[in-house]
Amino acid sequence: MPHILEFENVSRSYQEGASQIHALRDVSMAFSPGELVAVVGPSGSGKSTLLHLAGALDTPTSGAVRINGQRTDQLNEEGRARLRLKTIGFVFQFFNLIPTLSALENVAAPALISGLRTSIAYHEAASLLERVGLGARASHLPEQLSGGEQQRVALARALSLGAPLLLADEPTGNLDSETGHQILRLIGEFREGRTIVIVTHDAKAEAVADRVIRIKDGRVD
Amino acid sequence: MRPLLLAGLRNLFRHPGRVLQVAFAVALGIALFVSSYMSISGVERSIQRAARAVAGNADWVVTGSAAGGLPDSLVDRLRQVPGLVAAPFVKASATVLGPRPTKLQIWGIDTRSDAMLKLFGGQHTPDPETAARMVLVPNSVIVSSTFAKDRGLKRGSILPIASSSGAINLTVAGVIDDSGITQSLGAELGLVDVQLAEQMFGQPGRIDSIQVSGISLDRLKTVATGYEVRSLDELSPAARDALLRVQSLYGLSLVAMLIGCFVVFSSVQVTILERMKVIATLRAIGASRVQLLSAILLEWVLVGFIGSLAGVLFGALLSSAVLRGVTGSVNSMLPVVSVAHAEMTWPTFLLGLAIGMGTVLAAAAIPSFAAVGESPLLALRPHTYRLRHQQLTAFWVGVCLVAVGLGLSITGSYARTLISITLTFLGLALLMPQVMVVSAHRVRGTMSKLFGYPGFLAADNLQKAPQRTAFNVIALGGALAILVSTSALVDGFTVSTHRWIRASLPFDISVTASGFGNSTYSEETLPRTLLQTVSRVPGVSFVYGVRKSFAPFEGHDVMVIGLQTVPYLEAHRRHGTLNWAHLIADPDNRRELLAGHGIFASENFLALTGKQVGKYLDLRTPNGVWHVKLLGPIEDYSWPRGLLVTDLDVMNHLWRGNALTYVDAQVAELSQLSTVKGRISEATRAEYAVALTDREQIIGVADTVLRQSTSAADAQVWLASIIGFLGIGNSLIIGVLQRRREIGLLRAIGMSNGQLQRTVALEALLIGIGAGLLGAAGGLVGGWMPLRHFTFAVTGYLFPCVVPWAEMAKVVVGAVVVATLAAVIPMRRAAEVPVLTSIAAE
Ligand SMILES: Nc1ncnc2c1ncn2[C@@H]1O[C@H](COP(=O)(O)OP(=O)(O)O)[C@@H](O)[C@H]1O
Ligand SMILES: [Mg+2]
């Protein structure tokens, strides 16, 4: 079976004035379909950088990142956007919902961007909201929802086009531990047929993960 | 509040584009105001200068009316007062005959007394020897030096002139230095004795005015009872009427400033939104509201200062262009004024600065107050978007303001029109956001069907930022509304005048002494013998004569026309428009008219004076007060102060003399208009310099005068549209900046740049359509209410409402194009939003 996501000697560095910051150094690894992987490491170790590369939001300074066999650096901006739309779902630490759109409209966004008929997009968004337990809050704006609820909306949105690769960057980092656990459990419920990569400090996540990747100073331990 | 002020200034430096935009919007508004102010006061000063050029050191001027004049005897009566210097004066324009006919302004002055010398005080005064020659040599003239040089005239040369008593040969008695004087008059000059001038211009025993010094105004008023006495620096009623017309430019400047206000308001609001956190933090650590408020306002007053300064300078540059339009408009009502240039004075400069800074302060005050009034806790919360379901209170207050504004405009006085415009704009600003919320919500579905998700997002963005959107719709819509409303008015005027000219003028060719369109106020006349000369021309089937003059009435000059009634009616019968003149044709009316007991009045005269048909009015004529009955109304657009129609013989008796202003001719059926025209000028060439105008040319002249009156406004409307354009660009950029996070996020979840840019463009499209519709509808209402009533109040013309469909369509299309263009930069900015940093932590 081909790897859904593959890092091959990936390095990513940032030029900060005269000095170079090596956020990621020579990382090689692969992720198989159906895997749930936890990425852990101290703050500033390069976890977000790794996830951004994995999600085609960024391209490596050297080496190659392949998603379904496609090198991300060989696509142009629009190609990567299409890849993100169809293949990848993101969940962020700060939820990043669109404040002016309701919960339902937020969830329906990817489907609508992809050009799906409005009625179908809303229908599917509604059922996803139902599955994350927010069926009753569909018309609420983000500011009217609690942090945990907002993160569940964000999860529903990440799943909306049935993306096979779900990337979550500290999804519980901004929540209390009880709510955080609920979110982790919820993410776990969607592991069927998906590769899930969660960046986390939460020991609970390590426990449910198939594999744990430890990063320190941009290197995989 | 040093920290905030510093932060604020740094912030301004970091967003030079926004600062430029505010400064630019203010600058344009101020430029409009300053250019209007400078050109109108420039014309005013020129009129005064021209008066000074005529009267030298005189203090007062005594006049009868524009053309009615004064009796010679008044001069003698005045001179009986010890110490009083009185100089009689006749002014008219004449044509120099010859292969190259040119205009010469003729002044009739008293060469027999030293009055003129005393008043002129050296400036362009003929030397005693020349003055003596003027008395000794009959028909002598002193000409200005440029003219003399141009024509090769020397003392003793003969100058043939067309006058209303036929051609006359003047002998050059001398040449005077014309430095300065011809410039302020805009014409070459010839000085003749006052009695010769009276004779030449068909007004024996009558002079135009008397310049007086050496007496107090009150004293003079008692000596010259029954005549108009005013200070030389005071504008004549005619000048005031002419200036009133161009003052509508101030209304335009006001609209531009209001539009500028909206741009300033939204820019200030964004910078404040961006700094809500800083403001809230400072509040949390104990800064007072007053401190914060003054810090923010200071920052913007600075920007306002820069903008106003630029505006004043730009206005000074622009004034020469505006001046041309204003002069054209004024000259269609006044004897030609030549305006060298508009001058910038310190008061103008300071007034411009004050208005600009005041406007910025007023516009910045509202969002600033709102910001510092906010609880610091609220402002520290992460979400900047707060849901406001409805803005119903504001909506209804807005509706009330608009209603009051439109209500005020019905009476149409100048000040009220300005207040009405301001109230209407404020009302729109209040009610528009709610309209935006509702209409943007309505079109979301359609937009998403037509343009997919970008369409939905565009409409949604507008709905969620109703205020910003509404302001920009108003800004552009307001500018466009001016276009539509002026063109509604102009169309109304054009339709009425064209119909009127075709129906009311029963001739094919009008013969006049000077060009038909030169000036309605022109007093050049033709000798009565011309009637025979023209009627004998082959191809001319019918002629009649008309005399035109002016009479003072209730502080204004009204036009008086004397018709050869019987031939005039016959001309209508032949022309097939007797129907139009049926009131004059009515046997009872005609009897009264011919007997001098009755008079017809134009509709605008009746509207302006409130007089009614059947009632009597007292009209001052050179032959005393005329108590005359108003026989009926006639439709007429000749003179903004109204027209009175009487019989020619009656008029010649009351106004004295028997010269004609127009000789109107009908062309025989099979004759070619142009051929007959050629024959008429051939037949008259030897003795008169005449201008020939046919009906279609008169229509052209009317249109030209109209265009001149509105041309000054045109430049201003374009500038106002530029401000509106800026506003939209501003709004869209603000929209992009405010939504950086969301844009980054949409990109992160897979939206393409194309989709993103389409969203911005569609937003612009919606704003453009909104502005276009508002401009078209607002312009229609504006043309119908304030403008039409204002015009009515000033001129008494109440035009039919004509819907300017073409202009409205142009405005809608133009708005859409403008908005789409305004979206170009914001689209680029949206595509440049960095995905990674904008989705990172707060
Ligand atoms: N855009 C950037 N420019 C410069 N340095 C960056 C940038 N993004 C991340 N870094 C640096 O790269 C390193 C890794 O960052 P990150 O991947 O965000 O760490 P983590 O998510 O593990 O806390 C850090 O030292 C950070 O400062
Ligand atoms: Mg991180």
CB–CB of B552/B677 below 8 Å? no
Closest-CA residue, ligand 1 atom 27, reads A44
Q: Render B73-117 in DSSP notation, one character per residue.
A: HHHHHHHTSTT-EEEEEEEEEEEE-SSS-EEEEEEEE--SSSHHH
Tens of pLDDT along B534-579? 999 999 999 999 998 888 888 788 899 999 999 999 999 998 888 8
Nearest CA-CA distance, residue B383 and chain A, Å: 7
Please report the pLDDT score of residue B375 as a whole number.
62
pLDDT at A128 over 60: yes
Domain boundaries, chain A: 5-220
Tens of pLDDT along B233-283? 777 777 777 777 777 778 777 877 887 887 788 778 777 777 777 777 667
From the CB of A47, is ligand 1 less than 6 Å away? yes
From the CB of A159, is ligand 1 less than 6 Å away? no
Q: Which ligand is located closest to the Cα atom of residue A42?
A: 1
Which of B563-572, B768-777, B833-842 shows the lowest mean pLDDT across its residues? B833-842
pLDDT at B8 over 80: no
Q: pLDDT exceeding 70 applies to what percent of chain A?
A: 100
pLDDT at B712 over 70: no
Q: pLDDT exceeding 70 applies to what percent of chain B?
A: 87
Query: Does the domain made of A5-220 have the CATH classification 3.40.50.300?
Result: yes
Give the strand pairing for B643-647 and B209-213: unpaired
State residue A43 phi and psi, 5-degree precision: -60, 135
CB contact under 8 A, B386 and A93: no
pLDDT band, very low/low/confident/very high, at B3 (cuts 50, 70, 90):
low
CB–CB of A58/B836 below 8 Å? yes
pLDDT band, very low/low/confident/very high, at A129 (cuts 50, 70, 90):
very high
Q: How far is CA B128 from CA B133, B141, B354, B597, B725, in A?
A: 9, 14, 53, 51, 66
Tens of pLDDT along B128-155? 777 777 777 888 888 888 888 888 888 8
CB–CB of A77/B736 below 8 Å? no
Nearest CA-CA distance, residue B741 and chain A, Å: 8
pLDDT at A67 over 90: yes
Beta carbon pairs, A and B, within 8 Å: 84
pLDDT at B67 over 60: no
Of B208, B302, B370, nearest to B11 (Cα)?
B302
Exposed (0-12), middle (13-18) or buried (19+): which is B805, by Cβ within 10 Å? exposed
What is the token pair recorded at B717?
């409307």
Q: What is the DSSP letter of B61?
A: E
Comparison of pLDDT for B6 and B798, the residue scoring more: B798
| Residues B799, B795: Cα–Cα separation, whole Å | 11
pTM (predicted TM-score): 0.74
Q: Render A76-120 in DSSP notation, one character per residue.
A: -HHHHHHHHHHHEEEE-TT----TTS-HHHHHHHHHHHTT--HHH
Q: Mean pLDDT, chain B, as a whole number?
A: 81
Tens of pLDDT along B310-329? 999 988 888 877 777 777 66
> Which range has the top average pLDDT, A23-27, B212-216, B263-267, B370-374?
A23-27
Closest-CA residue, ligand 1 atom 14, reads A46
ipTM: 0.83
* Closest CB to B383 among A82, A101, A143: A143
Nearest chain A Cα to B745, which residue? A96
From the CB of A23, is ligand 1 less than 6 Å away? yes
A14, A43, A50, A100: best to mutate for the B interface, most B CBs within 10 A: A100
Tens of pLDDT along B363-399? 888 888 877 776 665 555 554 445 455 567 888 988 9
Exposed (0-12), middle (13-18) or buried (19+): which is B121, by Cβ within 10 Å? exposed
* Closest CB to A101 among B445, B460, B747: B460
A49, A87, A113: best to mutate for the B interface, most B CBs within 10 A: A113
- Exposure of B280 in the CB half-sphere (CA atoms within 13 A): 15
CB contact under 8 A, B746 and A114: no
| Residues A118, A109: Cα–Cα separation, whole Å | 10
Of B248, B322, B243, nearest to B38 (Cα)?
B322
| Residues A39, B473: Cα–Cα separation, whole Å | 51
Q: Render B255-275 in DSSP notation, one character per residue.
A: HHHHHHHHHHHHHHHHHHHHT
| Residues B90, B69: Cα–Cα separation, whole Å | 9
| Ion ligand 2, residue ranges at CB < 5 A | A 48
Closest-CA residue, ligand 1 atom 2, reads A14
Nearest chain A Cα to B446, which residue? A118
Exposed (0-12), middle (13-18) or buried (19+): which is B441, by Cβ within 10 Å? middle
Name residue B550's beta-bridge partners.
B559
Please report the pLDDT score of residue B66 as a whole number.
47
Q: Return the H-helix or E-strand segment holding B509.
A: strand B509-512
From the CB of A16, is ligand 1 less than 6 Å away? yes
CA dihedral sign, ordered B230, B236, B241, B245: negative
